[in-house]
A and B are shown apart, each in its own frame.
Chain A
């Protein structure tokens, strides 16, 4: 065999591997407007930057599958996004449903190890049917395939992970979607422990895939995904945007961006958004957009835990995380879903050296039987502990109401490095109206007496009361907020560690 023949043979093998599950299956996807494992990678990374690993890997346990498993159903490798290194695992559903096998799990393990040890983000394009069968069947199937990597599902948050649910996501795709720092879901994708078919068979009840793991469930009820999009292309673009805010690894600060012109003057619009009436709601996201660099607010979980809006943004070109009470929902009262969302986001920011800004307008926590059934006190403490464990700079801006324990959860007192209030702030243990009802509960109290009590309850709940005892560091005009926070970011930068926090929660769970 000549060298030419040898090289021709190599090329043939590579070309064959790149065909994935074959032209018919790929064409069907194309007709439905769904990208494939390789076109997703092409759209995601900088042109010409792809370095594949395991192109010639195939099924290793079932001999008859060796010719039917190009790249063994999971395309893996390394590329650049905006010039920055990333690792990618892209599931090829046209090859055995991208099911997990002995070979492709080694590929995932390799990319994950390299990304973690060398310090760059890891991205999963999820679409998989679960464990491959019959490979995993029987005692030997289980013993050969599973459990050899004791770190397989450990999140230490050394580097950012992003994941996309782009089709059926059962088994490993579902696991990685839940372990990632940012997860986007395309409408029509399904994420669940097992398929609706298996669930229907196992429990003897017809289960619809959308009910089991559709986008509405995950966007609004479970909160397991951060954003929902219409197309694969949008999902890819969302991950690119997420990565633009993030450091490559936990031992460097997030990248700096240029500051869009006009960002300095938007603060003047805040008073057009903040209602004069204390009982009027408003959408806090409009206020965030007046404080952050123009077009930089990137919201997480907008339809889940809506009483608090969280997202990455930039302030003076620096990445920050906003956690803001949103009075448009439940008056901004923190509920269980809101606490879960806030906890997860706080842990992510702290793990990747992203300073946190809390915007506060909350009458407290949502109370009632439902919340208690959902373990509200535990959720409140998870959030509180996360905030207190943070070692990144934290700043709290009291815009309007801040009451009770929620005052602490939203960074009041020494729970932030600097607390500032607008003159519209009101601070107390409880809303004066509720306090009046509590102290007169069960008594025949007429309205005049109640009114006197209410006046007494409203006493000294202003920002100035807190400023006088140095419970806050300043009272500022809303329009000055952006400037104030940019100055605080400068003052409180972590000089001893070049901007790197202690990451005391890096191994915390990713779901609460």
Chain B
């Protein structure tokens, strides 16, 4: 079992969280959408696995490189 951290590419806020803890995800699946500089920034699963933890909340702020969620592979 390997835990893969999914990090934010940008400083911004969490607009929508599209998936829940325990969901199985495929590589490229949309997990959440961030908002930064009036742009929606999709956060996609970098690998297939199970979404084991979501570390942010909707409308919360995020920093660049902040861990957003964990995927167990």
State whether B37 touches A306 (Cβ < 8 A): no
The residue on A at minimum CB distance from B44 is A283
Tell me whether B9 is interfacial, beta carbon within 8 Å. yes
The 8 Å CB contact of A279, one of B10, B38, B65, is: B38
A331→B39 contact, CB < 8 A: yes
Is there an interface contact between A330 and B36, defined as CB atoms closer than 8 Å?
yes
Q: Is the CB of A281 within 8 A of B40?
A: yes
Cβ of B56 within 8 Å of any chain A Cβ, yes or no, is: no
- Please state if A433 and B42 are interface contacts (CB–CB under 8 Å): no
- B41 interface contact, C-beta 8 A: yes
Question: Helix, strand, loop or mixed for chain A's interface?
Answer: loop
Q: Which of A220, A328, A333, A433 contacts B41 (CB 8 A)?
A: A328
Sorting the interface of chain B by its residue count into under 10, 10 to 19, 20 to 34 or 35 or more gives 10 to 19
CB pair A279–B36 under 8 Å, yes or no, is no
Q: Give the chain B neighbours of A306 by CB distance below 8 A.
A: 9
Task: Kindly list chain A residues whose C-beta atoms are within 8 Å of the C-beta of B9.
Answer: 306, 328-329
A412 sits at the interface (CB 8 A):
no
Across the interface, do B36 and A331 meet the contact criterion of CB distance under 8 Å?
A: yes
Q: Give Cα A306 to B8, complex, Å.
A: 12
Q: CB-CB < 8 A to A329: which residues of B?
A: 9-10
Identify B42's interface contact among A281, A333, A363, CB under 8 A.
Answer: A281
Contact of B40 (CB < 8 Å), options: A220, A279, A363, A433: A279
CB distance from B8 to the nearest CB of A (A): 10
CA gap between A284 and B53 in the complex, in Å:
27
Interchain CA distance A326-B37 in the complex, whole Å:
14
Return chain B residues, CB-CB under 8 Å to A393: none
Is A327 an interface residue, CB under 8 A from the partner?
Answer: yes
Task: Contact check, B39 vs A327: say whether CB atoms are below 8 A apart.
Answer: yes
In the complex, which residues of chain A have a beta carbon less than 8 angstroms from the beta carbon of B39?
279-281, 327, 331
Contact at B40–A280, with CB atoms within 8 Å? yes
Q: Find chain B residues with CB under 8 A from A363 CB.
A: 37
Complex: chain B residue closest to A282, CB-CB? B42
By size class, the interface of chain A is 10 to 19
A333-B38 Cα distance, complex, nearest whole Å = 12
Interface residues in B30-54 by Cβ distance below 8 A to A read 36-42
Asked whether, in the complex, the Cβ of A330 is within 8 Å of the Cβ of B10, the reply is yes
Task: Specify which chain B residues have a CB less than 8 angstroms from the CB of A331 in the assembled complex.
Answer: 36-39
Residues in chain A near residue B38, CB distance under 8 A: 279, 331, 433
Residues 261-294 of chain A, each 1 if its beta carbon lies under 8 Å from chain B, else 0 = 0000000000000010101111000000000000
Of A275, A306, A328, chain B has the most CB atoms within 10 Å of the CB of A328
Considering the chains assembled together, what is the distance between the CA atoms of A330 and B64 in angstroms?
10
For residue B41, which residues in chain A have a CB less than 8 angstroms away from its CB? 281, 328
Residues of B within 8 A of A220 (CB): 65
What residue in chain B is nearest A306 (Cβ atoms)?
Answer: B9
A176 CB → nearest B CB, Å? 29
With A306-B9, A329-B10, A330-B10 known as contacts, the answer to whether A280 contacts B37 (CB < 8 A) is no
Closest to B33 in A: A280
Contacts of B10 in A (CB 8 A): 328-330
When the two chains form the complex, which single residue of A275, A282, A330 contacts B37, counting CB atoms closer than 8 Å? A330
A452-B20 Cα distance, complex, nearest whole Å: 41
- Name the residue of chain A whose CB is nearest to the CB of B40: A280
Q: How far is the CA of A147 from the CA of B34 in the complex (A)?
A: 54
Q: Which A residues lie within 8 Å of B40 (CB)?
A: 275, 277, 279-281
Cα–Cα, bound, A331→B36 (Å):
7
Q: How far is the CB of B19 from chain A (nearest CB, A)?
A: 17
Tell me, in angstroms, the Cα distance from A277 to B41 when the chains sit together: 11
Of all chain B residues, the one with the shortest Cβ separation from A328 is: B9
* C-alpha gap A331/B35 in the complex (Å): 10
Q: How far is the CB of A269 from chain B (nearest CB, A)?
A: 11
Of B38, B41, B42, most buried by chain A (CB within 10 Å of CB) is: B41
CA distance A331 to B39 in the complex (A): 6
CA distance A329 to B36 in the complex (A): 9
Binding site for B on A (CB under 8 A): 220, 275, 277, 279-282, 306, 327-331, 333, 363, 433
A-B pairs with beta carbons under 8 Å apart, 15 shown: A275-B40, A279-B39, A279-B40, A280-B40, A281-B36, A327-B39, A328-B9, A328-B10, A330-B10, A330-B37, A331-B36, A331-B38, A331-B39, A333-B37, A433-B38
Q: Which 10 A-B pairs have the closest CB atoms?
A: A331-B39, A281-B41, A331-B37, A280-B40, A281-B39, A329-B9, A328-B9, A279-B39, A279-B40, A329-B10
18 more contacts with CB within 8 A, not counting A306-B9, A330-B10, are A275-B40, A275-B42, A277-B40, A279-B39, A279-B40, A280-B40, A281-B36, A281-B40, A281-B41, A281-B42, A282-B42, A328-B10, A328-B41, A331-B37, A331-B38, A331-B39, A363-B37, A433-B38
